[in-house]
């Protein structure tokens, strides 16, 4: 590790292996399918490790991420975002020719466009109806899911497979207790959706939810058949704040070098917004935790510099520090490779194959 240039995204292999095994174990104990979201790492080797640990398939947010994973041999992919517009619909249909694909819809127009493209190729695609679990992003209202599913059933080229939702609002609370309460409210909305389906006599094969910080609750909630958790693979300060991980579970750190200590009570490192991301953690100041300097705060980020307000021990010129990020999910899109480390030695250098795949 001492030979690595900075900034570098360093992955603790022991922790990653434990995180993968723990989530796989939770899902298996409760008889729930785990379909990890690979937006959290964008690395083929890590997707393979998750599949080998028992994941039934993977989740991608973007079609281009799914294309990369399919090219690498992953065969069962859910794209957990709406596919809209003729260019994407054609790409979706192309991909459906080579892998077992599932799509997500929340509008009849969107579903019809996808259905038409699939039907013209003689294919039928599994579709999950997205339900708004309270995140107020995409998704039909829980009470409308039954009627929507009935309309979906009449669209050629698509096959109703069930429902999905993302309970992302759980991360906005400042207290751990809020996470559980918000998750419970989200799953009440899911229950309403399931009642709405039952009223029209439709049985979902798949009932899929997402968030890492709600995984324990999700695994206990009747009716849920699948979890799409992603962040658990590395964890970060957001997961620590949400109570779903300890600092010792955080597997990804940004290795950085102190460039300047010219200003009093300040140290400047070579990791800025591009290497650490501007994501914030509720209830915690700054842009990450500098290990060994826990009292100090990364106060400000410009693109390539991080400005630390120093408390406690001073920083040395040229000192190399590991930073636990607030959120790793945007910063994995900034590094072209990540380095897997065990006992201070580099064991793996993984290309971030789906880096930049935002289309």
Please tell me the chain's helix, strand, coil percentages from 3-state DSSP, rounded to the nearest 5: 35, 25, 40
Nearer residue to ligand PLP within complex by CB, 256 or 277: 277
Residue 354 CA to residue 68 CA, distance in Å, equals 6
Q: Which position has the token pair 């800025």?
A: 272
Which string of x and - marks every residue 43-72 that binds ligand PLP (by CB under 6 A)? ----------------x-x-----------
Q: In Å, what is the CA distance from 59 to each residue of 14, 103, 159, 203?
A: 24, 10, 18, 22
Stretch that binds ligand PLP, among 13-21, 189-197, 223-231, 314-322 (CB under 6 A): 223-231
Measured between its terminal Cα atoms, the distance across the chain in Å is: 34
Nearer residue to ligand PLP within complex by CB, 64 or 260: 64
Nearer residue to ligand PLP within complex by CB, 91 or 228: 228
Nearer residue to ligand PLP within complex by CB, 30 or 299: 30
* Shortest separation between residue 209's beta carbon and ligand PLP, angstroms: 8
Under the binding rule (CB under 6 A), the answer on residue 228 touching ligand PLP is yes
Under the binding rule (CB under 6 A), the answer on residue 145 touching ligand PLP is no
Nearer residue to ligand PLP within complex by CB, 133 or 353: 133
- Nearest CA-CA partner of 39 in 293, 257, 211, 260: 211
Under the binding rule (CB under 6 A), the answer on residue 37 touching ligand PLP is yes
Beta strand segments in 184-336, E:
206-209, 226-227, 252-260, 266-269, 289-290, 297-301, 306-309, 320-324
Stretch that binds ligand PLP, among 2-10, 210-218, 270-278, 342-350 (CB under 6 A): 210-218
Residue 328 CA to residue 308 CA, distance in Å, equals 19
H or E element in which residue 238 lies: helix 237-242
Among 80, 158, 271, 354, binds ligand PLP (CB under 6 A): 80
Q: Which residues bind ligand PLP (CB under 6 A)?
A: 37, 40, 59, 61, 80, 166, 210-213, 228-231
């Amino acid at each position: 590790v001492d030979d690595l240039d900075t900034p570098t995204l360093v992955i603790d292999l022991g922790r990653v292996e434990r995180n993968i095994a723990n989530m796989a174990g939770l899902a298996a104990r409760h008889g729930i399918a785990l379909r990890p979201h690979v937006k959290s790492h964008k690395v083929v080797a890590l997707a393979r490790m998750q599949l080998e640990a028992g994941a039934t398939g993977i989740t991608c947010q973007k079609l281009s991420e799914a294309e990369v994973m399919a090219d690498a041999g992953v065969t069962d992919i859910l794209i957990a975002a709406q596919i809209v517009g003729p260019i994407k619909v054609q790409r979706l249909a192309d991909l459906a020719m080579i892998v077992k694909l599932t799509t997500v819809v929340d509008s009849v127009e969107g579903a019809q466009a996808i259905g038409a493209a699939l039907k013209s190729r003689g294919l039928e695609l599994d579709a999950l109806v997205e339900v708004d679990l309270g995140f107020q992003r995409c998704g039909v209202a829980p009470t409308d899911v039954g009627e929507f599913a009935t309309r979906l059933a009449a669209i050629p080229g698509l096959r109703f497979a069930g429902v999905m939702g993302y309970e992302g609002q759980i991360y906005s609370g400042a207290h751990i207790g809020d996470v559980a309460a918000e998750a419970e409210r989200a799953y009440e909305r899911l229950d309403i959706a399931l009642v709405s389906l039952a009223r029209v006599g439709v049985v979902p094969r798949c009932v899929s939810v997402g968030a890492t910080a709600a995984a324990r609750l999700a695994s206990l909630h009747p009716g849920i058949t699948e979890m799409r958790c992603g962040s658990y693979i590395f964890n970060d300060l957001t997961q620590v704040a949400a109570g779903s991980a300890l600092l010792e579970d955080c597997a990804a750190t940004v290795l950085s070098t102190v460039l300047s200590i010219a200003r009093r009570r300040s140290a400047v490192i070579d990791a800025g917004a591009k290497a650490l991301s501007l994501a914030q953690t509720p209830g915690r100041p700054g842009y990450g935790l500098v290990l060994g300097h826990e009292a100090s705060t990364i106060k400000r980020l410009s693109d390539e510099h991080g400005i630390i307000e120093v408390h406690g021990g001073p920083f040395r010129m040229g000192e190399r520090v590991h930073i636990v990020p607030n959120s790793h999910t945007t910063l994995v899109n900034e590094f072209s490779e990540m380095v897997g480390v065990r006992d201070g030695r580099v064991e793996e250098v993984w290309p971030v194959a789906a880096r930049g795949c935002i289309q």
